[in-house]
């Protein structure tokens, strides 16, 4: 089996864990690329699995680094939450032999292409989580127009607008009050950020649609892609989001379902902490 070993060397413990893992991993298969600085053009190389050390941010970086040539990703969690990174460093030596034996499955997930008219000129970016158009200093209210397949769908007044994939639905969009989507759906979620209206609500739409956000009014607005790429947007600029031609591919090992992850990481679906009827109430 051929491996990419990727991650963000600036994050705590990533380089130490990667260098500790490398000699053992070279005994299990071929390490084609070892890159913790995002210096290697991965289009020039082939691998069966990309091992990404870090948190979810490292996986988002790796997905963009792989670009149009996506390799299945196994996330090794060294971050705080690790929603996409299923495996802890202590489990790696158990999981890799299972991968080599073929005891795993690969799930496919929606990615997006984003095109924007920024102050630095036209920009195009591939992403996995979300596109956010948001207010910047001095944080005045924005007026944003949303068009779907060229038809104006709504105008939003508030702090911004999020267009997220199902993978990104548990990130910024969730914090803004958006829904949780099944990760393998082909759909986008559009969620307003602090809308100045009681009628502005999240919508879920098919991924075969094209979404265009125009900054109608706002003294200072920014485009943020996956929480990592940031560009300033002039007034009347447009940001277009559509389904990418490639999909993100995630390695899933036995015993780690999406709903178990929701429960373990986000405490979703947990039973409320009811008082035992046989216990006397505590006095205040």
Which active-site residues does the annotation give? 56
Q: How far is 40 from 77, CA to CA, in rounded Å? A: 22
Q: Bridge-partner residues for 116, per DSSP?
A: 123, 239
């Amino acid at each position: 089996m051929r491996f990419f070993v990727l991650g963000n060397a600036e994050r705590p413990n990533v380089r130490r864990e990667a260098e500790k893992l490398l000699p053992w991993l070279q005994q299990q298969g071929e390490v084609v690329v070892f890159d913790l600085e995002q210096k290697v053009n991965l289009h020039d190389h082939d691998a069966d699995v990309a091992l990404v050390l870090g948190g979810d941010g490292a996986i988002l970086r790796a997905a963009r680094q792989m670009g149009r040539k996506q390799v299945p990703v196994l996330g090794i969690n060294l971050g705080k939450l690790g929603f996409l990174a299923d495996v802890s460093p202590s489990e790696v030596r158990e999981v890799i032999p299972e991968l080599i034996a073929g005891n795993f499955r690969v799930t496919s997930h929606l990615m997006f292409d984003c095109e924007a008219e920024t102050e630095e000129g036209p920009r195009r970016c591939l992403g996995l989580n979300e596109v956010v158009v948001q207010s910047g200093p001095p944080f005045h209210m924005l007026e944003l127009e949303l068009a779907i397949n060229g038809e104006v769908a709504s105008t939003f007044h508030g702090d911004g607008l999020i267009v997220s994939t199902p993978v990104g639905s548990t990130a910024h969009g969730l914090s803004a009050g958006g829904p949780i989507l099944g990760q393998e759906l082909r759909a986008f979620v559009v969620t307003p950020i602090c809308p100045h209206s009681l009628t502005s609500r999240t919508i879920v739409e098919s991924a075969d649609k094209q979404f265009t956000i125009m900054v109608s009014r706002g003294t200072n607005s920014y485009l943020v892609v996956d929480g990592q790429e940031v560009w300033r947007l002039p007034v009347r600029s447009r940001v277009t989001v559509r389904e990418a031609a490639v999909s993100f591919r995630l390695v899933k090992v036995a015993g780690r379902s999406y709903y178990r992850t929701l429960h373990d990481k986000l405490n979703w679906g947990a039973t409320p902490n009811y008082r035992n009827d046989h216990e006397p109430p505590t006095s205040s």
